[in-house]
Amino acid sequence: MASLSTFRRLNALALFQLFAEERIAAGDPPKGLESAWALKIEVSGATWSMAKSGARPIGDKLARQIERHCGKEAGWLDDEREPAGLTPGEQQFLSFALNTYRQTNSDGRKRLKQLLKSFG
């Protein structure tokens, strides 16, 4: 079962992803979006980086701050939500799994499927 810390991090990442997609659609270059996001939510780049990676949990104060700057009601970050899209890590994993699947024979594909089923 996921923790409050996990919900907050995943929801904050979803808000960042939405922010980044909107900025890129408006013509902004991808470089610098992390810093722009940190400015928007009024934290240092290092604080956002640690929160994003999970190295620093998003506490109550930071959670309410992010919600306020994103126009969300208090407690929004605390709720479990369905992912809006794939995270970069998920995209990387799927790409790796697909390449592995495509580069092996039928026996290898069977073993890969069995391994993934047994892991979960």
Return the pLDDT at 21: 87
Split at pLDDT 50, 70, 90, the class of 4 is very high
- The two tokens of residue 118 are 């047994």
Q: What is the pLDDT of residues 89-104, one digit of tens each?
A: 777 888 888 889 899 9
Q: What is the pLDDT of residues 37-72, one digit of tens each?
A: 999 999 999 999 999 999 999 999 999 999 999 999
pLDDT more than 90, % of the chain: 68
SS3 of the chain: the string is CCCHHHHHHHHHHHHHHHHHHHHHHCCCCCCCHHHHHHHHCCCCHHHHHHHHHCCCCCCHHHHHHHHHHCCCCCCHHHCCCCCCCCCHHHHHHHHHHHHHHHCCCHHHHHHHHHHHHHHC
Which segments of the chain belong to CATH 1.10.260?
4-82
Q: What CATH number belongs to 4-82? A: 1.10.260
